[in-house]
């Protein structure tokens, strides 16, 4: 509310002009888009105040980014107020031949001077000002900045700069799956396993163990652990996304991907909360069916990019139940646990999975049914029964025929 440029400060009306000192902090640009190319720009700043111009290309130019980090401070001395004073901040793109103006924003200093709300704010707020091209109302990005105005000697400036990244540990648990599409239609089962990791670091993806001959519900209770630096930088695309894939393992050929899902790690702002509070934060979800109670076990639908319905919408290929927790590395070292179900198995304790394939010497038929599936198992027994019936019928028929010819021969003799 402090930057609303409305509300005249009557205290300053009719006063003679005095000299003021202005200070402008420009932190960073957000989603700055060039006008004449699809490539990320090479942006830099030009600041104008009256007839004065500060071309700060040398200090502020960034290469190939739509989210530049400037972190510069500019002093404007002896600004006469009341009086016409406008600061114009321009973002330019270095291009071959002639640089182009991407967009600009203006601060009406006199308007701020007369603004009651702004002048009464002791700590001036950070602003996010839209950039617009010349003679256009289209927004081509934003600038994060802060402007201060002092009468007399300015206060000591504060230091600005990018936040120093800190290492955190991301803990992910794959609990179970359900409604997973079968890749082996004949046996109606999957040799199911999950694969996942931070999307931008595909080389660090991890896998669960395999639920062999999985039908209906898959059980894993498997823990993954990853290192991640916070805060995530604007140019670190995919560092705040987690990719989970469900696969059918094939021993003789290549594995088949069943489906995948990209999960926003910053759901409910858990990354910001963990970094700001320096504590462990879990991803949680409200369950409307249970009086809006919270749970940290969340179901995610997985999709295959090539499997769609008649309208082109993706069809769920299965669901995976997962938990996410992120904590400072120092805290993670105090409450250590193992990957998978390895020791130390705690925080939380992961039980052995249920419904897995096992051999019982006292019941080999059940093991065979799990291997080939209930449908093939039933068909196998139907075929065996048919064969037995045919053998018995043939044997009985042979006996009857033999007796018939024996009687005939005896009658003739």
Tens-place pLDDT, residues 140-185: 999 999 999 988 777 889 888 888 899 999 999 999 999 999 887 7
Contacts of 189 by beta carbon, 8 Å cutoff, 6+ apart: 182, 213, 214, 215, 373
Residues in the chain: 413
- CA distances to 41, 145, 374 from 102, rounded to whole Å, are 9, 17, 66
The percentage of residues in the chain with a pLDDT greater than 90, rounded to a whole number, is 54
Using the structure block, give the residue that is written with the tokens 């250590």: 336
pLDDT tens-digit series, residues 221-239:
999 999 999 998 877 888 9
pTM confidence score: 0.70
Tens of pLDDT along 247-270? 999 888 899 999 999 999 988 789
The 8-class DSSP code of residue 350 comes to -
Contact 295, 158 (CB under 8 A): no
Helix then strand count (H, E) for the chain reads 7, 20
Helix/strand/coil for 412:
helix
Residue 367 or 182, more confident: 182
Of the candidates 29, 34, 35, 42, the residue with the CA atom closest to the CA atom of residue 94: 42
Question: 259: which residues sit within 8 A by CB, 6+ positions away?
Answer: 180, 181, 245, 246, 301, 302, 303, 304, 307, 316, 317, 318
Pair type for strands 314-328 and 281-282:
antiparallel
> For the residues 349-361, what does the mean pLDDT come to?
80
- Enter the tokens of residue 131: 């950039």
Q: Is 299 helix (H, G, I), strand (E, B) or coil?
A: strand
Q: What is the mean pLDDT of residues 210-223?
A: 92
| Residue 136: pLDDT over 80 | yes
Per-residue confidence (pLDDT) for residue 15, from 0 to 100: 65
pLDDT for 7 equals: 53
Under the banding of pLDDT at 50, 70 and 90, the label for residue 3 is low
| For residue 347, pLDDT beyond 70 | yes
Given the DSSP bridges, would you call strands 142-151 and 298-308 parallel, antiparallel or unpaired? unpaired
* pLDDT band, very low/low/confident/very high, at 384 (cuts 50, 70, 90): confident
Token duo for residue 13: 């009306």
pLDDT (0 to 100) of residue 127: 93
Q: What is the DSSP letter of 123?
A: S
DSSP-assigned letter for residue 362: T
| Residue 294 β-bridge partners | 286
Report helix angle 364-372 to 374-412, nearest 10: 120
| pLDDT in the model for residue 181 | 94
Q: Measuring CA to CA, which residue among 342, 305, 315, 337 is closest to residue 208?
A: 342
Task: Examine the pLDDT at 358 and tell me if it is beyond 70.
Answer: no
pLDDT at residue 364, as a whole number: 64
Decide the pairing of beta strands 211-214 and 256-264: unpaired
Would the CA dihedral through 3, 8, 12, 15 be positive or negative? positive
How many Å apart are CA 159 and CA 25, to the nearest integer? 10
Positive or negative torsion for Cα 151, 153, 154, 156: negative
**Strand ranges for 179-275 from DSSP E:** 190-198, 206-207, 211-214, 217-230, 241-248, 256-264
Given pLDDT bands bounded at 50, 70 and 90, which one contains residue 370?
low
| Phi/psi of residue 195, nearest 5 degrees | -135, 135
The rounded distance, in Å, linking the Cα atoms of 310 and 12 is: 67
């Amino acid at each position: 509310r402090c930057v609303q440029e409305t509300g005249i400060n009557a205290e300053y009306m009719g006063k003679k002009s005095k000299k003021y000192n202005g200070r402008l902090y420009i932190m960073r640009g957000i989603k700055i888009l060039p006008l004449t190319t699809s490539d990320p720009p090479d942006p830099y700043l030009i600041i104008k105040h009256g007839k004065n111009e500060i071309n700060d290309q040398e200090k502020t130019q960034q290469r190939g980014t739509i989210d530049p980090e400037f972190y510069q401070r500019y002093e404007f001395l002896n600004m006469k107020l009341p009086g016409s004073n406008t600061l114009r901040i321009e973002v330019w793109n270095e291009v071959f031949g002639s640089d182009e103006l991407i967009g600009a924003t203006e601060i009406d200093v006199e308007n701020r001077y007369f603004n009651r709300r702004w002048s009464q704010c002791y700590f001036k707020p950070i602003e996010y000002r839209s950039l617009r091209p010349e003679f256009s109302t289209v927004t081509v990005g934003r600038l994060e900045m802060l402007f201060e105005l002092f009468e007399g000697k300015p206060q000591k400036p504060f230091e600005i700069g990018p936040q120093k990244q800190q290492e955190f540990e991301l803990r992910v648990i794959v609990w179970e799956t359900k409604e997973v599409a079968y890749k082996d239609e004949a046996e109606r089962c999957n040799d199911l396993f999950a694969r996942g990791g931070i999307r931008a670091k595909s080389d660090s993806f991890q896998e669960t163990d395999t639920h062999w001959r999985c039908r209906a519900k898959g059980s894993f209770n498997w823990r993954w652990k990853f290192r991640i630096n916070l805060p995530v930088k604007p140019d670190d695309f995919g560092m705040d996304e987690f990719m989970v894939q469900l696969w059918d393992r094939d021993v003789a050929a290549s594995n088949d991907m069943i489906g995948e899902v990209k999960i926003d790690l910053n759901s409910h702002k858990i990354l910001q909360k963990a970094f700001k509070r320096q504590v462990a934060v879990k991803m949680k979800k409200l369950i409307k069916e249970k009086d809006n109670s919270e749970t940290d076990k969340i179901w995610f639908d997985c999709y295959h990019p090539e499997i769609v319905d008649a309208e082109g919408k993706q069809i769920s290929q299965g669901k995976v139940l997962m938990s996410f927790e992120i904590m400072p590395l120092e805290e993670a070292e105090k409450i250590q646990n193992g990957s998978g179900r390895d020791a130390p198995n705690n925080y939380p304790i992961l039980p052995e999975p249920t419904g897995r394939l096992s051999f019982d010497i006292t019941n080999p038929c059940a093991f065979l049914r799990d291997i080939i599936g209930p449908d093939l198992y039933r068909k196998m027994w139907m075929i065996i029964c048919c064969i037995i019936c045919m053998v018995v019928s043939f044997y009985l028929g042979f006996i009857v025929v033999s007796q018939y010819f024996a009687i005939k021969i005896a009658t003739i003799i």
